[in-house]
Structure 1
Amino acid sequence: MMTHKRFSPPRSRRERPAKPALTRQGIIDAALAILREEGLHKVTMRRIAEALDTGPASLYVYVRNTTDLHVQILDALLAAATSPLTVEGTWRDRLKQVLMRYTSVLFNYPEIARMTLTMHPSGPNYLALLEQLLALLKEGGMPDREAAWVVDLLLLYATATAVEQSTRQSSSVAADEDSVLVAAITTIDASVYPHIAQLGNELFSGSGPDRFAWGIDVLLSGALSTPRAATEQEKTDAI
């Protein structure tokens, strides 16, 4: 005897719970969640659309392209670098804390760190970071012209440090490469490479934070004592 299975009648779309409205911030939040759980290579329009239960095409109303999305992700991450400072001391001490926070953010996301070398962020957290650095430079007596240029060098130095350290941290061959380099320098022929032989130990001296902080001091001292050359436009305006 045939039995008749009971089927539920199709559910009207009107009865389904309404999806949350799609927003730019919602897209960025979804992208950040995917970044933390799966890595940057999984942060695609298709993957974000899947997480938000929508179509990829609908995302482009709020995000221009993947590059724009990555820039927004970077800016969201930089919120951790712009919180109130906790160290007391000189303006240099506080500036170093800002840059160390910035480097720490990038160190945790090697793929974002590498992209930052060619990105031009302009979001509110990046602007807050820039404002904080410029305020500290002004407090330290840095002339405006020099401050406008050295802030770029400081961020580039911090970014490059994060890229190198985070990339090597995740490399399976970095430790072997370091061992080979140490062996090459400590056993070098002093008659051929006298300066390397003399400074062999110094080349590897100093902990990471100490060398990083020293590099910041080098850039600051150099900017304070080196007048910035006028640009061609500034030369023209002065005539």
Structure 2
Amino acid sequence: MAATREPISRRERPAKPALTRRGIVDTAVRIMRSDGLDKVTMRRLAQELDTGPASLYVYVANTAELHGAVLDALLGEVDLAAEEAGAGWREQLVQVLTSYTFVLFEHPRLARSALVAHPGGENYLNLVERVLGLLSRGGVPVGQAAWGVDTLLQYATATAAEHGTREQDPAAQDDWDALTRAVHDADEATHPAIRAHLPALLAGPDESRLTWGFDVLINGIIHTPAPLEG
């Protein structure tokens, strides 16, 4: 005869940890790292935290806000102190922006999400503060710096979203090869500008293009007054 299992009183079970926004976000980050952003849902979080989905909405309004909080947590990995010996403010700014881009390279779904929704947490504010501080150190007027930080981060985010998506797409190389053939086969009579700009049109490593793009934007921010209303 099988032994009867002794029931465990609820009083003897260990109490569940109290829910907190930080705990929810940390769990979401762990899920994303192991299973990808697609698995970061309220239902999955509720399972991991042994609670009901409705309980989570007290701390996070919706999935979009959750993804923003996850992105902000990852932005803690950005090297805001990036500084080479003797580097000027521009070099430091490019280093910070490159570090931000490389963090997003690892998470293209989050990069695409960041294109339409800023995270708005402490790490994001620290990034904006650092970029504004470096622009100010370079003597960039307040209005140009204020608008410029948005342009710089948008460029970095879009680059990361595109690069990361290509890296995860099995057909990406085939698509690139097809584009390369199409450009090289372009008829000079109908597409003279394309022919005139080969091979430079497709040349250069991604990192060089990224740095060049930052330099172009920084030059534009420095020399283009922002039409802010008084």
TM-score, length basis structure 1: 0.92
1:164 corresponds in structure 2 to 162
In structure 2, distance between residues paired with 1:22 and 1:209: 42
CA contact (8 A) 1:74 1:112 kept: yes
One-letter code aligned to 1:210: S
Q: Deviations over 1:194-236 (max 9, x none)?
A: 11111120101221111111111111111211211133xx2xx
In structure 2, distance between residues paired with 1:33 and 1:227: 44
CA contact (8 A) 1:95 1:136 kept: yes
2:135 corresponds in structure 1 to 137
One-letter code aligned to 2:71: L
Supply the RMSD in Å over aligned alpha carbons. 1.2
Alpha-carbon offset, residue 135 of structure 1: 0.4
1:43 corresponds in structure 2 to 40
Q: Deviations over 1:146-169 (max 9, x none)?
A: 101111100010011001111111
Alpha-carbon offset, residue 69 of structure 1: 0.9
One-letter code aligned to 1:172: P
1:55 to 20, 30, 52: 52
The percentage of counterpart residues that share the same residue type is 49
In structure 1, distance between residues paired with 2:167 and 2:13: 47
Q: Does 1:10 align with 2:18?
A: no
Alpha-carbon offset, residue 84 of structure 1: 2.2
Gaps spanning 5+ residues in structure 1: where?
235-239
2:101 to 103, 108, 122: 103
In structure 2, distance between residues paired with 1:16 and 1:135: 52
One-letter code aligned to 2:84: V
Structure 1 runs (4+) greater than 2 angstroms displaced: none
Q: Deviations over 1:111-163 (max 9, x none)?
A: 11111111122100000000000000011111111101111100010011001
1:225 to 209, 223, 226: 223
Q: Which has the larger radius of gyration?
A: 1
TM-score, length basis structure 2: 0.95
Aligned length: 229
In structure 1, distance between residues paired with 2:40 and 2:60: 13
In structure 1, distance between residues paired with 2:80 and 2:187: 50
1:237 corresponds in structure 2 to none
CA contact (8 A) 1:82 1:129 kept: no
One-letter code aligned to 2:217: L
1:28 corresponds in structure 2 to 25
